[in-house]
Amino acid sequence: MRREARDWPLDYAALEPYYTKAEELVGINGTWDGQAKAPSQDRYQPPLEPNPISAYAAAGMDALGMRRYRTPLAVITRDHAPSGRTAPADADTVKTAFVNRYGDPLGLKSNAWVSLLAPLREVDGGGALDLRANCTVTHLEADGPRVTKVHYRDPGGRPRTLTAGTVVVACSAIESVRLLQLSGLLDPAFDKRVNANGLLGRYFLTHCFGGAQCVVPDRSDKSKTLDSDWATDHCARPEWFRAQGLWAGGVIYNNTSDGALPISLARTWHAMDMDNMWKGYLYDTGIVGDGFEDYLEESFGRRLSVAFMANQVPQRENRIELHPSVKDKWGRPVAYIIKTWHPHDRALMDALAEQCRQILVRGGDVRDVSSGSVGGSVVRIANHVLGGARFGADAADSVLDPDCRAWNFDNLYVTDGAFMPTSGSANPTLTIEANSFRVGDVLLDRVGRT
């Protein structure tokens, strides 16, 4: 890990003001008391009352001495002035798992469109935003150290070209890396600049995942929740993971809205990999007839899970490449992922899965407690794709500089999760947003503020 991992080229204090800014502009509810790091300003909207089934998780955390807090969720519970969104007068009508598990036509879920982009339509008569939907960028073109053209196909498939003084790539980590690799495939000079040290695509990361589940005595309507109700940073604190002989830790939270509908129970029942979603019933032949009725009686509204999300060790061999033979509809190589778990990943997942199990065991009158992680076989996780173009203070071992600018280009930036040198131990969305605001300030200083 000392050989592979690199620390971030900036500290928490440099990012903290941008976390606060993101929390205010995006619209997030939750509580700070109990989190490992306190903010300079509390911008959270108030959370809604937790679902009754979450009381078991809360009791277990308390019994183990784990400080807990209301899980921050990107859903507004009050009117949100920055975006102009309004919440229902009765906030409890917001409390539906469908906001999390399905699309949200009401605009309560704080995605980038409703929080940040849609409000720009009102700025300068709509001239502040030119959104070209259903287009596909094919490659970037450079003249020496400057990217001069963005080549793309419009919705009809016709090739188009844009010129820009600054180009920011944010296609999600895998596709951002792929776009840079495709651009280098067409132009060796571009490739030499963007991948001078051979690290583009390297140190690809996801997260270590796992947890525990149980059956509780009373049935709850799990659709009456936003998502997770409680979380704890106990196992993300250095004093805990160092005592376990570990390099890093992770956050633990209870899943409230999982299995809120029978169809969502079915989706992940005995799922073994991304290709096997929905296939659990094929391997569990006991779930037919009365067995299926018994399964619903046992599971629906009574199954509670506690999960963890933890740091994965950066490894050079975990990487994104261009596939040698598989092409997309435009004849371009698709992304090809090579990834495995480090022994530390498995040790960490085992330790955290046991912590999750203990939370449920200590949480009250529960039964059928089981635990596990993705470390046994599931490597192909699609959640939280990160790394592949990590930033750093040294051009020899990073793709981007501390401002997320490609080292050998003057005007090319990458601001999605590809920039992250480690995965952290929490959902990365807020970090990506905070860093994007930080890079935005860098660009404003470069081009001049108006």
pLDDT digits (tens, 9 = 90+) for 332-347: 999 999 999 999 999 9
Asked which of 70-74, 138-142, 167-171, 298-302 is least confident by mean pLDDT, the reply is 298-302
Q: How far is CA 222 from CA 37, 304, 305, in A?
A: 30, 10, 12
153 pLDDT above the threshold of 70: yes
DSSP-derived letter for residue 306 is: E
Asked if residue 274 has pLDDT above 60, the reply is no
**Residue 270 pLDDT exceeds 70:** no
Collapsed DSSP state (helix, strand, coil) of residue 364: coil
Average pLDDT over every residue of 48-73: 97
pLDDT of residue 241: 96
> How many other CB atoms are found less than 10 A from the CB of residue 293?
11
Comparing 98 with 420, the larger pLDDT belongs to 420
Name the pTM for this structure.
0.93
Q: CB neighbours (10 Å) of residue 419?
A: 29
Nearest-angstrom CA–CA distance, 436 and 430 = 10
In the chain, the percentage of residues whose pLDDT exceeds 70 is 94
Span 130-203+388-447: which CATH code?
3.50.50.60
Please say whether the dihedral angle defined by the alpha carbons of residues 139, 144, 146 and 148, taken in this order, is positive or negative.
negative
What is residue 268's predicted lDDT score, i.e. its pLDDT? 66
Sorting pLDDT into bands at 50, 70 and 90, what band is 277?
low
Q: To which residue do tokens 């009809």 refer? A: 156
> What is the per-residue burial (b if ≥16 Cβ within 10 Å, else e) of 351-376?
bbbebbbbbbbbbbebeebebbbbbe
Mean pLDDT over each residue of the chain, to the nearest integer: 91
- What pLDDT is stored for residue 68 in this prediction? 98
For range 34-63, the mean pLDDT: 94
263-289 core/surface letters (b: 16 or more CB in 10 A; e: else): ebbbbebeeeeeeeeebbeeeeeebee
Residue 272 reports pLDDT greater than 60: no
pLDDT for res 312: 92
**Is-contact 44 23, C-beta < 8 A?**
yes
| Closest to 231 in 3D by CA, of 254, 208, 207 | 254
